[in-house]
Amino acid sequence: MAGRRRVPGSGGVVALCLLLVALVACGGRTGADPARESVQRVLDRRAEAIVGHDESAFVRTGAQSWFDQLREVPFAQWSYRVTGLRREGDEATAEAELLYRIRGLDRAPVTVARTLDLSLDASGDWYVEAERPADRTAEQLWDQGRVELVRGRWGIVLGVGQSAGRMTAYADLVDRAVPAVTRAWGTGWPRRTVVLVPESLEGMAGLLGSPASSYRGIAAVTTGETGTPEDAPADRIILNPVAYGVLGRSGKQVVLTHETTHVATRAHTGPATPLWLSEGFADWVGYRETGRTPTEAAPELWQAVTGGQVPAGLPTDDDFAFSGDSAGLARAYESGWTACRMIADRWGEAALREFYRAVGAHGKRAGAVEGAMAEVLGLSVEEFTGQWREYLRTQFA
């Protein structure tokens, strides 16, 4: 039934029947689109072939070259749901929701929007000519080329255009990062990571759905939902092959340990957590076992402080924006690190962890840091800032 309304002056209710295409009778349902159902069946077979690593079944639904690009990825789930179909004769474009899950790593599926171009083959079945991200959505790694996989004890590394030696080296870094983070944060996290290594900076930007200029000079980024429940997909650590690649081994280890810390702390990071704390804590874990001095780990901040420019306060979230001021961005990270380092030095590492969790437990930013500082450290923000500024002077003296 299309709807009901009261007719003025009639004193009664009448049913209105609207003339719809393919409507069998008033109150009937529109007929199913046979083309859409047929496309859905083909995509179901395509999904089964991907999960089952069945190449022969896949090539009956689409080109083998695309199957080759993702054949190394151990999918536990892959499914499509057609959300729209535009057909012109023997060709069609389908919009679909794709859900996929990597075996042993994703506790829930990743959901992305996809666009598929199809054509009818000689037998009258639909055939996928191409698959790509939907408009204004990020790429998946296999959209960029053939994915290679290296397994470590504590995670996997998926790469495009990388040498076997480099991939193995990255897996070794993962196997050092996860235990280091566990020693600093505790065991209450999955202790498994997924590292993605695209071939270029542009590839990294494609995975993040942003311009490449946003990440020039950024060695790595971790994606994931803050305050994640237990059944959330695993975070992805995405490396910038240019900026990360030029680092020495110790620098690579610090960066990967930093990013792994974001994976570990994600469930306790939320809208209330300022970037100086989330980034500073990750840097604190990254440098914790390296033996680096403040001067070595925070050269930009050291230069500012010794030059008489002690920061007036802790960095704001805006200070962490990917702008053209690389020195200013470095000082923001270094300021967060020294603030977390001071808490660990003066109140102990357990207090630093408790402080981080206490801030994240607040539902909103207002009052979160103030309340956690009073509760855990026994200080106001003003008192803490004053002690931190003095700490900088003594550390860089």
For the stretch 144-159, pLDDT in tens is 999 999 999 999 999 9
Residue 325 has pLDDT above 50, yes or no: yes
What does the chain come to in residues?
397
Residue 5 phi/psi, 5° resolution? -150, 155
Does position 165 have pLDDT exceeding 60, yes or no? yes
Mean pLDDT of 173-177: 98
Residue 5 pLDDT class (50, 70, 90 cuts)? very low
Mean pLDDT value across residues 174-191:
97
Q: What is the identity of the amino acid at 253? A: Q
| 3-state SS class at 17 | coil
**Ordered structural domains, the chain, with CATH:** 1-31 (no CATH), 36-137 (3.10.450.50), 139-268 (3.30.2010.30), 272-397 (no CATH)
Give the model's pLDDT for residue 31. Answer: 53
Percent of the chain with pLDDT over 70: 90
**What token pair was written down for 93?**
């474009």
pLDDT class of 326 with cuts at 50, 70, 90: confident
pTM exceeds 0.85 for this model? yes
> Are 81 and 97 within 8 A, CB to CB?
yes
Residue 357: the pLDDT is 97
Q: Tell me phi and psi for residue 265, to 5 degrees.
A: -95, 0
pLDDT digits (tens, 9 = 90+) for 97-120: 999 999 999 999 999 999 999 999
| Bigger pLDDT: 215 vs 197 | 197
As given in the structure block, the two tokens for residue 206 are: 């494609």
Tell me how far apart the alpha carbons of residues 383 and 370 are, in angstroms, rounded to a whole number: 11
pLDDT digits over 27-77, tens only?
444 456 899 999 999 999 999 999 999 999 999 999 999 999 999 999 999
Distance CA 161, CA 144 (A): 9
For the chain, what is the radius of gyration of the CA atoms?
27
Measured between alpha carbons, how far is 115 from 103 in angstroms, rounded to an integer? 24
**What's the DSSP call for residue 308?**
T
pLDDT at 378 over 50: yes
The H-assigned helical ranges of 7-75 are 34-51, 55-59, 64-70
H/E run at residue 101: strand 91-102
**What would the pLDDT profile of 124-134 be if each residue is shown by its tens digit?**
999 999 999 99
Give the separation between CA 211 and CA 373, rounded to whole angstroms: 38
